[in-house]
């Protein structure tokens, strides 16, 4: 059975729940269907006689002007369709959001003027959801976003909350139009890692989590992005997530990390950090064939200093030695206080001979310093040192440290205030 066009149209309107309207721009005549009235809680008879003023009376005053402007843009050819959303008063007293669409039929067939015809759809639930999402986005301390990566590698942000401007200095509208604006402020040292993490999340479809810095003028801030990806039928991948400010937390983490690897008294690295870097350097040396050396330093008769002049004076001696070592070594060298009066200098890309020269310079530098106690008495402090260098003959880092300790003990047994190089006679 073939259905008439009128029957099909009626079925479509019933299925979509759309109200229809017809407005003659020349005569002002207006026609509504029953569904148009029922979506506002009325019957057509209750609204009769219907006119353009009927529509205006039911519309929110703030939206009438916007509807007129949308119509003007359509009639002037600026928009391809007459379209707007207005609030209309339901019989129950609540405002309903009505999505209006229409198109113009001209009088080619003696229709009696220009007729603007279209539909009304109640989109209140969608509008309420959008409003709730917007309020949620405004209240959350972060940027809510949707990020889409196409199969060809291009990407865009279908949704960005207004907090984007607070975090990135870019409006959400501009960032949607040009998605690169969301990546431009990222710290250049962090951008490759962030891009790699997105690629990994796209490949594995695992949650994306990344901490990164953004640069805004002279300020650098830490942000954290968290989102869950899903692959769409067309091969594109969509992430829905949030970006939060973790600057205070990150600074605290960095401060705690720094405290965990440094000696509180001298500000040098501690033994744990030195051992970690020693393992890393040994691995690099095995791979690339570089050499490195180790200098172990110990204050001679340090207990006597504490006993004679007190622990505060002993602390001052330790701090002075720390400053001396830092001033006589390179930035690439790792200086650590590894015990009460023991220090180790880890020297990358340094031969045994060069390390010995550094150790001698530290020994003579310390010997030349004069200390004065709180009672005004002068005294001097000396150092003993052991020097070793990594080679293929050294089985492990533990063995290297043992060799360095042995050289230091030899210097102590030989009379102190001297440097002993592993595998060589002291000269």
DSSP labels for 108-173?
A: SS--SS-EEEEEEEE-HHHHHHHHHHHHHHHHSSEEEEEEEE-TTS-EEEEEE-TTHHHHHSS-HH
Residue matched to tokens 């953004």: 214
| Fold: same for 5-123 and 262-421 | no
Residue 146 CA to residue 252 CA, distance in Å, equals 30
- For domain 140-251, the CATH class is alpha beta
Tokens of 288: 């690339």
pLDDT of 52 higher than 50: yes
Q: Count Cβ atoms below 10 Å from residue 221 Cβ, excluding itself.
A: 18
Query: What residue segments make up the domains of the chain, in order of their start?
Result: 5-123, 140-251, 262-421
* CATH number of the 262-421 domain: 3.30.70.270
Between CA 392 and CA 402 the distance in angstroms is 16
| Position 424 pLDDT exceeds 50 | no
pLDDT in tens, 10-21: 555 555 567 888
CATH number of 5-123: 3.30.450.20
Q: What is the pLDDT of residues 222-253, one digit of tens each?
A: 999 999 999 999 999 999 999 999 888 888 87
Identify the pLDDT of residue 427: 37
Q: What is the pLDDT of residue 111?
A: 58
pLDDT at 174 over 90: yes
């Amino acid at each position: 059975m073939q259905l008439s066009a009128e029957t099909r149209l009626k079925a479509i309107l019933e299925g979509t729940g759309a109200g229809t309207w017809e407005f003659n721009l020349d005569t002002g005549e207006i026609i509504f269907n029953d569904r148009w009235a029922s979506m506002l809680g009325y019957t057509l008879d209750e609204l009769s006689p219907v006119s353009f003023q009927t529509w205006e009376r039911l519309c929110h005053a703030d939206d009438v002007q916007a509807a007129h402007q949308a119509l003007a843009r359509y009639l002037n050819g600026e928009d391809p369709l007459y379209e707007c959303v207005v609030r209309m008063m339901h019989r129950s007293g609540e405002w309903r959001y009505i999505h209006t669409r229409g198109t113009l039929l001209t009088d080619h067939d003696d229709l009696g003027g220009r007729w603007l015809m279209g539909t009304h759809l109640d989109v209140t639930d969608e509008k309420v959801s959008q409003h709730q999402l917007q309020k949620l986005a405004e209240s959350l301390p972060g940027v809510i976003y949707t990020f889409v990566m196409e199969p060809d590698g291009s990407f865009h942000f279908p949704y960005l909350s207004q907090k984007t401007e607070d975090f990135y200095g870019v409006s959400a509208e501009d960032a949607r139009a040009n998605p690169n604006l969301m990546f431009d402020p990222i710290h250049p040292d962090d951008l490759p890692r962030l891009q790699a993490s997105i690629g990994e999340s796209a490949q594995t479809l695992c949650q994306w989590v990344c901490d990164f810095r953004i640069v805004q003028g002279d300020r650098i801030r830490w942000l954290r992005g968290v989102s869950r990806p899903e692959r769409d039928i067309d091969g594109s991948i969509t992430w829905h997530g949030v970006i939060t400010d973790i600057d205070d937390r990150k600074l605290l983490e960095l401060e705690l990390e720094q405290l965990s690897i440094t000696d509180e008294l001298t500000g040098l690295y501690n033994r744990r950090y030195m051992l970690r870097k020693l393992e890393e350097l040994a691995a690099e040396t095995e791979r690339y064939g570089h050499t490195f050396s180790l200098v172990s330093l110990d204050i001679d008769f340090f207990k006597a200093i504490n006993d004679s002049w007190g622990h505060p004076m002993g602390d001052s001696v330790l701090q002075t030695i720390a400053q001396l070592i830092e001033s006589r070594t390179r930035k690439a060298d790792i200086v650590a206080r590894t015990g009460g009066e023991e220090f180790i200098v880890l020297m990358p890309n340094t031969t045994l001979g060069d390390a010995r020269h550094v150790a001698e310079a530290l020994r003579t530098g310390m010997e030349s310093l004069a200390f004065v106690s709180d009672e005004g008495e002068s005294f001097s402090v000396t150092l003993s040192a052991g020097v070793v260098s990594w080679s293929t003959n050294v089985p492990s880092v533990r063995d290297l440290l043992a060799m360095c300790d042995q050289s230091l003990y030899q210097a102590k047994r030989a009379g102190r205030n001297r440097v002993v190089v592993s595998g060589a006679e002291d000269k």
